[in-house]
Chain A
Amino acid sequence: MAVYTFTLNGKLTSVEVPSDTTLLETLRETLGLTGTKEGCGKGECGACTVIVNGKAANACLIVTSQLVGADIRTIEGLGSDGILDSLQTAFVETGAVQCGYCTPGMLMSARALLLKKNNPSTEEIRESIAGNLCRCTGYAKIAEAIRKAAVSARERGV
């Protein structure tokens, strides 16, 4: 066991876990943040997607000891005090959610895209979620929701 300190959703956070604990286990089991999902556990489904130092990453393929000093954002960091963020709103309004299992990962991949590009092309939107599997929606509404969120963020100048 050792103590690892990183920034999680804007707050300095320390956890005491064995050095080979995955970030996914640390989030879900040590910190009780169960918004991040586990699908395959092997990098193939994207259900566990979080943002590490501004980039989308699979939390199942990172060990916590690799994160000293890192800046991590999870689904719990989107929106605040019950108010949805623009992507979440767009997903709800567009009907981009069915069973919802892929949704946290999709939202984090989409957020990582919008952090870099405020006017992404259709190609860039598809590319950003190519590592996220969805068994329900057929992806079209997800891509549309991301596009809508980008438009509304630009209109509001954020």
Chain B
Amino acid sequence: MDVITPQNVKEVLEELAKDPYAGVLAGGTDLLVKWKSNIITPPRLFTILGLQELNFIREEEGYLKIGPLVTHQDLAESAIVQRHAPLLAKACGQVGSLQIRNRGTIGGNLVTASPAGDTIPALVVLNASVVLQSAQGERQVPLRDFITGPGKTVLQPGELLTAVLFPCMEVTEVGFYRKLGQRQAMAISIVNLALKATLENAVIKDICIACGSVGPTVVELKKTANRLKGHCLDTSELRDVVANAGDETSPISDLRASQEYRRKMVGELLYEGLQSLRRQSAG
């Protein structure tokens, strides 16, 4: 495997256009593990981690725009992210270990498209899109359409993910992120759940819920969200409303957890999330 250090994004795009088998290496926490296990054998890789033009967090006209090379740890610690999308900061803070968060990037997490990827449900409820750039030009794709299956995205050979963007959360909006793993650090999630809601006097006006590790890609709980609209967070019937939330998911059983357990935990995490929203709206 030949690892090449490019000078800038333009050079990467030109090289990727010439060689459809070339790839890019960011933090390497997914790619190098797969390479060492002989799952992939890329002939040529451009290491982009040093390209500062892809490492930024900016607030632009009500949107938060994040470069693909921002690491999980930088996102978790970023004051701008904590202010405008605290649930994303939370999700990033729960990735792997500090060593992994110091190297692993948001771009790598999205392109890897793991069903358990921690930033994916968070970015889905934030209504994020990704910017894909090639030598021919650029296009913007909603994150919901970007990931099409486990490890599968619509990224074409020659394309680089150059930004992630989403609307900053409004003052009336509150959010939540929770990952359930076998232990706190270093564990792939058994279930993870992100939610974002618009509240008016503790009444849910609008809510968006997304879960990971319970289907081939992120699953949005649309029916449950519809049922929750109009409910007050203080009422006791919330338990019943969320009890069957897991029915909207299609988890598998594996060595980490059974299908039944995962389904049940979806409802539990959602209930925990609603309690957290209640506390946030009260405080």
- A residues in contact (CB < 8 Å) with B: 19-20, 22, 41-44, 46, 49, 52, 55-58, 61-63, 65-66, 68, 109, 112, 127-128, 130-132
Contact = CB atoms under 8 A, between A and B. Distances in A.
Contacts of A41: 36
A19 B4 CA distance: 8
B55 interface: no
B3 A130 contact: no
Contacts of A22: 32
Given A66-B25, A68-B5, A130 B49 contact: no
A56 B102 CA distance: 7
Interface of B: 1-5, 25, 27-29, 32-33, 36-37, 47, 49-50, 73, 96-100, 102-103, 184-186
B100 A58 contact: yes
A105 B28 CA distance: 19
A61 B186 contact: no
B99 A49 contact: yes
Contacts of B27: 61
Contacts of A63: 3, 25, 28, 32, 47
Contacts of A132: 97
A109 B185 CA distance: 15
B100 A130 contact: no
A109 B97 CA distance: 11
A131 B97 contact: yes
B47 A65 contact: yes
Contacts, number: 80
A79 B51 CA distance: 34
Given A56-B98, A130-B184, A61 B50 contact: no
Contacts of A55: 73, 102
Contact of B96 (A109, A112, A131): A131
Nearest to B102: A55
Contacts of A128: 98
A42 B102 contact: no
Contacts of B103: 57-58, 61-62
Given A127-B98, A131-B186, A62 B28 contact: yes
A83 to B, nearest CB: 28
Contacts of B4: 19, 65
A56 B4 CA distance: 24
Contacts of A127: 98, 185
Given A20-B2, A42-B36, A130-B186, A58 B50 contact: no
Given A66-B50, A68-B50, A43 B3 contact: no
17 contacts: A19-B1, A19-B3, A20-B2, A42-B36, A42-B37, A43-B29, A44-B186, A55-B73, A57-B99, A57-B102, A61-B29, A109-B99, A112-B98, A127-B98, A130-B98, A130-B185, A131-B98
Contacts of B100: 43, 58, 131
B98 A61 contact: no
Q: Which 6 A-B residue pairs are closest in the complex by CB-CB distance?
A: A131-B97, A130-B185, A19-B3, A20-B1, A65-B3, A55-B102
B173 to A, nearest CB: 28
A57 B2 CA distance: 22
B150 to A, nearest CB: 19
A55 B101 CA distance: 10
Contacts of B5: 65-66, 68
